[in-house]
Structure 1
Amino acid sequence: MSSMFESPDLAPEEVAAHMLVTASALDDLTLADAMVVVTYMRPKRIPAGTIFIKEGEIKRNDYMLLILEGDIAVENDLPGAQGDTLVVNIIGPGHLIGEMGVLDGSPRSARCTANTDIAAAILSRTALMRLLRDHPQTGSRLLLAISKRMADRLRETTRKLRTFAQMNKALHEELQVVMNNRTKGPNSSTPD
């Protein structure tokens, strides 16, 4: 069984362009825009088991990666737990990683490990700057699509934090009831 990346009907650039305009990537781009963008990307193969992005990494973090084949585990270190991590997501073909890095080069917010062999396309900040110079309209639409994707993630994170805050409040109230019952004790009597 051949993969979409090795499709005889589509060139690798066309496959990457089609994946770039999916809902899991940048569906606000047109296919024509995506075809231009992928000409500024370079292919990358990552062997299974490779940790290719490290949480907090400050070097070599000025790129975003489009997954063409394979699965990646996105993990965060657990606070106070030496070496323990939490898998926060498993992502596959058509997903983007590192949009913030291509924009600002800030430290990476998660660790990414290749669960399988990965075929990917990388857009570096240098390539993004060339794209903006050579094709300003396409580059602007790409930046707008990346910004929208980041805004959508921020809204989703805010929704999750609100849910967590509600759960935390309910647990706190339940704990208060338990603590109040303990301070009264089983033998406490109320005056008549």
Structure 2
Amino acid sequence: MKASDDLPRSGHLLREEAVRMLMRSSIVAELDAHDARLVIDAMQPVRVPAGTVLMREGQRDDTDYMALLLEGQVRAESAALLPGEEVVISIIGPGQLIGEMGLLDGAPRSATCTALTEVKMATLSRTALRGLVEVNPAVASRLLLGLAQAMADRVRSTNRRLRTLSQVARALQRELDATHAVNRRLLGQDTDMGTA
């Protein structure tokens, strides 16, 4: 993503709102106002129109940034098992981050994120993050710990959902096995009646 010319970086009100959002974000809630300003100052402002794909699942060439949503909504979705179908993972709003996994590990994007409305966001590139680590390692470490905590929370949540889905799948399999057994008995009775 490239910074938009019509979203001035020096906009004091937008900067202060971004600072408050970053501080309230559950991902990096350990940052105080000074630290949050340092992170926001390392970010680039971007404005994108509704319908813009911000990142595409499986994409490798744009994994060098994450974004803090300042205004608007983004839909995160992942490809379903059937071609052409998508599974909506979440609707992301102001104060939330997207793209942090790609920023940290450089791996392909894990979801497609599309702007549902016009979106204003602040992006943090890997280069800017490295600069923050060099210039202010204490702030960078708190930011990185927050990101790691958020990802750990997501993994735990995903594990809980997988356990639930596994339980549902086992219950469905038991139902199918029982139905299959009944069908075999009924077919066996029909066969016995036909020979009698």
Q: Same fold (TM over 0.5)?
A: yes
Q: Which runs of at least 4 in structure 1 moved beyond 3 Å after TM superposition?
A: none
Secondary structure in structure 2 of the residue aligned to 1:43: strand
Structure 2 match to 1:91 = 92
Secondary structure in structure 2 of the residue aligned to 1:61: coil
- RMSD (Å), alpha carbons: 1.7
Deviation at 1:41, TM superposition (A): 0.4
Deviations 1:79-126 (A, max 9, x none): 231x22122211110110011111111100000110100000000000
Question: 2:27 touches 2:146 (CA, 8 Å); kept in 1?
Answer: no
Question: 1:20 touches 1:27 (CA, 8 Å); kept in 2?
Answer: yes
The whole-number CA distance in structure 2 between the counterparts of 1:54 and 1:87 is 13
Structure 2 match to 1:15 = 17
Structure 2 match to 1:183 = 184
The whole-number CA distance in structure 1 between the counterparts of 2:173 and 2:188 is 25
Q: In structure 2, what residue type is equivalent to 1:65?
A: A
Question: 1:65 touches 1:123 (CA, 8 Å); kept in 2?
Answer: yes
Q: Tell me the TM-score normalised to structure 2 length.
A: 0.87
Deviation at 1:30, TM superposition (A): 2.5
Structure 2 match to 1:6 = none
Structure 1 match to 2:58 = 56
Question: 1:46 touches 1:118 (CA, 8 Å); kept in 2?
Answer: yes
Deviation at 1:64, TM superposition (A): 0.6
Question: 2:27 touches 2:149 (CA, 8 Å); kept in 1?
Answer: no
Unaligned runs of 5+ in 2: 1-11, 191-196
Secondary structure in structure 1 of the residue aligned to 2:24: coil
Deviation at 1:25, TM superposition (A): 3.8
Question: 1:25 touches 1:94 (CA, 8 Å); kept in 2?
Answer: no
Deviation at 1:150, TM superposition (A): 0.6
Deviation at 1:187, TM superposition (A): 6.5
1:148-167 alignment, distance < 5 Å: 148-167=149-168
Secondary structure in structure 1 of the residue aligned to 2:82: coil
1:30-41 alignment, distance < 5 Å: 30-41=32-43
Q: Tell me the TM-score normalised to structure 1 length.
A: 0.88
Question: 1:48 touches 1:114 (CA, 8 Å); kept in 2?
Answer: yes
Question: 2:77 touches 2:87 (CA, 8 Å); kept in 1?
Answer: yes
Larger CA deviation: 84-93 vs 166-175: 84-93
Count residues with an aligned counterpart. 180
1:33-182 alignment, distance < 5 Å: 33-81=35-83, 83-182=84-183
Question: 1:19 touches 1:25 (CA, 8 Å); kept in 2?
Answer: no
Question: 1:49 touches 1:114 (CA, 8 Å); kept in 2?
Answer: yes
The whole-number CA distance in structure 2 between the counterparts of 1:85 and 1:133 is 40
Secondary structure in structure 1 of the residue aligned to 2:189: coil
Larger CA deviation: 96-105 vs 123-132: 96-105
The whole-number CA distance in structure 1 between the counterparts of 2:96 and 2:50 is 17
Question: 2:51 touches 2:116 (CA, 8 Å); kept in 1?
Answer: yes
Q: In structure 1, what residue type is equivalent to 2:157?
A: E
